[in-house]
Structure 1
């Protein structure tokens, strides 16, 4: 970006365009980074400051996301410190005798594993603190008659009073159950996948030499650089290491849609549910993994949803990004990576076109991201149905113990459309945005 002393006097006096972001998740804070670099003033509306969840979740960052985060924070060395390598993508079948066989393996996976809360904090602390409006609960919004501005109404939780925040652009980063998306697309409803996920993060700091960890490492000798996926008929598990001596595990199991309360896809679990989970796990999984599950504090259940791809993610000066734009199942490691790339592409389009051409910038963002995200959402859906042995339109349900080599190719994350590519836009353009 140009320095102010290079600008004509009238340019110096012009106020910066203002963007209002609703949602303080990784999509929201990524968007704040990208838009500040594009010359926008950013106001981020959040209910409360982020706080690391004791349960939280692990995630996998692809190489482009890693590059973008490094360019935003200005502390490239820190990202390496808060992530672990995921060099191997390994899918294995497990039979009734708990014997494993390799179904598909990729030794050039080149992702890195992070804990959600740690990555969020890394992005959040690199932003100017004054952009955040804490304790503001989103209520509604309206676009001006001339389509030049947008007004967001929020409730100040401390006082109960209503306040208005105005901007040139409203960015909906309010997640897979987005209220802003629902305003434009009231008939778009989340689609239940047919399965839920038990998940947990096991902290083994101070117990590195315990019997449990020794057994887990013996059963998973490449832990620390490998994404392990074990498949049994109608089930699969995921296990990988994340920084600060923690192991992230997930068990997907087919079941009817749970009765969810409120605006959340996480269900409350009782002690009885947890005990039953342990008992069921013993029938299917390797004893080392079952012991890890038993010793994990506060395991929880996520119901897995996605949406059919949207036909539109831009309306006037309102734009959807992240899970608001493309709720997806987690089987292709795309949710966080798509959110980060959405933010970067939006920032690039806005910097290129400027506020005068806001409509053109948002249309370009939509034309770049919509086809890619749509294909990735549908691919992740298909992979989830394959791994869970659910009905597929064009072939018989997948059975890991009888699968052919050809059938197993779909298991690898390398099969996701545009894996390792950035179609319609060169990665160098995104990384240079904001530096001109």
Structure 2
């Protein structure tokens, strides 16, 4: 029998799920509320792909080399202390065996979307509700067409929630669950310098940060930190985390609309913290935006009958461990191989193996990402004093390295085919 999956959410997690399930021999329908594919969208900004995610994406593409053509290698992970008064940096940690690749969200999205069979994604479809049949053999998903308002129903053997950290589907199983505000927000932006490579800003940045183009830089100030690295096609991705009370969000998004006054105040505050070379990049970036950072206590369950959560719907996480996209891709791959192994007639066994494989890993990674963020932001933890990067020793900072992420290099046994492909 060939199973049919209905996936709600057409972002990276949903598209990865489509690839993995199609590879497993399933039919897939992806329902997405936006009206068309995202192109040139900045709100996803930059992201880092770990080695396993790179291998998985390449296994889904007819031309695997295109992933390398749309990303840049990040071979160094470096943490630095910034003295806001003296405007100088000093190195805290450096890992030269960092094997990630940097991608712009919209570039990775476009690569995954174009590699799917035409018609896989159904656009402008707003998810309304779902219902498991009385015999538990199928799920009926009700949706509304955004333009016409027509309400229709799609039936599948499996229902996949890939609808992000504010998942309404997860809420139906955990009605009391509330996301946990991290205590800080993130200003983000991408500076395109393709037409201005020899500007004082870019030349100054490359002089101050000589490994730009292959390094993931974390600059730690007093009670704050920033991240920046180069993307393909002469772009700089930067993020600045700011401790503040929780803002009031409107709509189903963790991205806030910002005014020119808010941006001006951000520039003024950043001027006091960062070295001039980085500050010029922030000031020259068009349309910076603000993300509110949430996670939640790890869930104890992510499958129910023939319903499954993947990606941020299954494990909302803070961004410091570069886990959100990578966990979503690995969720999709493990789910696909479990379905291929067990078949649609043994769906319950497939979903239980998916859950037992992923939950121990995602639980530890969510908690470590949260811890990493609190340390870098100078926030309190029960087992260590707040980090002061100006006086911190190497031992104080060893935990800040990305390679300390639990299960970072572990490949689930069910994905042993990836190793075979390499061999």
Instruction: Specify the TM-score bucket, using the shorter chain as the normaliser.
Output: over 0.9
Pairing 1:361–2:350 present = yes
- Gaps of at least 5 residues in structure 2 are none
Return the alpha-carbon distance in structure 1 between the equivalents of residues 223 and 248 of structure 2: 21
Q: Give the match for residue 42 of structure 1.
A: 28
Which of 380, 389, 393 matches 2:378? Answer: 389
Q: Give the match for residue 51 of structure 1.
A: 38
Q: Give the match for residue 88 of structure 1.
A: 76
Maintained 8 Å contact 1:26/1:336: yes
Note closer, same or farther for the CA distance 1:231–1:409 as it changes in structure 2 (3 Å cut): same
Note closer, same or farther for the CA distance 1:131–1:248 as it changes in structure 2 (3 Å cut): same
2:367 alignment partner, SS class: helix
2:78 alignment partner, SS class: strand
Pairing 1:68–2:56 present = yes
Structure 1, residues 193-218: CA drift from partner, whole Å, max 9, x if none?
00000010000011001111111111
Pairing 1:29–2:18 present = no
Q: Give the match for residue 293 of structure 2.
A: 304
Maintained 8 Å contact 2:337/2:414: no
Note closer, same or farther for the CA distance 1:426–1:135 as it changes in structure 2 (3 Å cut): closer
Which of 144, 156, 168 matches 2:157? Answer: 168
Which of 266, 270, 282 matches 1:293? Answer: 282
CA shift at 1:49, angstroms?
Answer: 2.2
Maintained 8 Å contact 1:68/1:431: no
Q: Give the match for residue 324 of structure 2.
A: 335
Task: Trace 1:175-324 onto structure 2 (pairs within 5 A).
Answer: 175-324=164-313
1:129 alignment partner, SS class: coil
Structure 1, residues 244-281: CA drift from partner, whole Å, max 9, x if none?
11100000010000111111111111111111111111
Return the alpha-carbon distance in structure 2 between the equivalents of residues 125 and 241 of structure 1: 24
Maintained 8 Å contact 1:67/1:431: no
Pairing 1:325–2:314 present = yes
Q: Give the match for residue 429 of structure 1.
A: 417
- Gaps of at least 5 residues in structure 1 are 1-13
Task: Give structure 1 regions of 4+ aligned residues with deviation exceeding 6 angstroms.
Answer: none
Task: Trace 1:107-118 onto structure 2 (pairs within 5 A).
Answer: 107-118=96-107
Return the alpha-carbon distance in structure 2 between the equivalents of residues 427 and 168 of structure 1: 23
CA shift at 1:404, angstroms?
Answer: 2.1
Q: TM-score if structure 2 supplies the norm length?
A: 0.97
Maintained 8 Å contact 1:90/1:106: yes
2:298 alignment partner, SS class: coil
Note closer, same or farther for the CA distance 1:379–1:415 as it changes in structure 2 (3 Å cut): same
Return the alpha-carbon distance in structure 2 between the equivalents of residues 49 and 432 of structure 1: 37
Note closer, same or farther for the CA distance 1:408–1:345 as it changes in structure 2 (3 Å cut): same
Return the alpha-carbon distance in structure 2 between the equivalents of residues 309 and 186 of structure 1: 15
Which of 4, 14, 19 matches 2:5? Answer: 19
Return the alpha-carbon distance in structure 1 between the equivalents of residues 190 and 38 of structure 2: 16
Note closer, same or farther for the CA distance 1:28–1:431 as it changes in structure 2 (3 Å cut): farther
Note closer, same or farther for the CA distance 1:351–1:251 as it changes in structure 2 (3 Å cut): same
Q: Structure 1 stretch 99-108 or stretch 51-60: which is displaced more?
A: 51-60
Structure 1, residues 123-179: CA drift from partner, whole Å, max 9, x if none?
010001122211110000000011110000000111111100000000000000001
Return the alpha-carbon distance in structure 1 between the equivalents of residues 125 and 311 of structure 2: 20
Return the alpha-carbon distance in structure 2 between the equivalents of residues 335 and 131 of structure 1: 23
Note closer, same or farther for the CA distance 1:149–1:427 as it changes in structure 2 (3 Å cut): closer
Maintained 8 Å contact 1:379/1:417: yes
2:390 alignment partner, SS class: coil
Please tell me the root mean square deviation across aligned C-alpha atoms, in Å.
1.2
Return the alpha-carbon distance in structure 1 between the equivalents of residues 246 and 86 of structure 2: 30
Structure 1, residues 298-333: CA drift from partner, whole Å, max 9, x if none?
000001000110000000000000000000000011
CA shift at 1:54, angstroms?
Answer: 4.1
Return the alpha-carbon distance in structure 2 between the equivalents of residues 184 and 53 of structure 1: 35
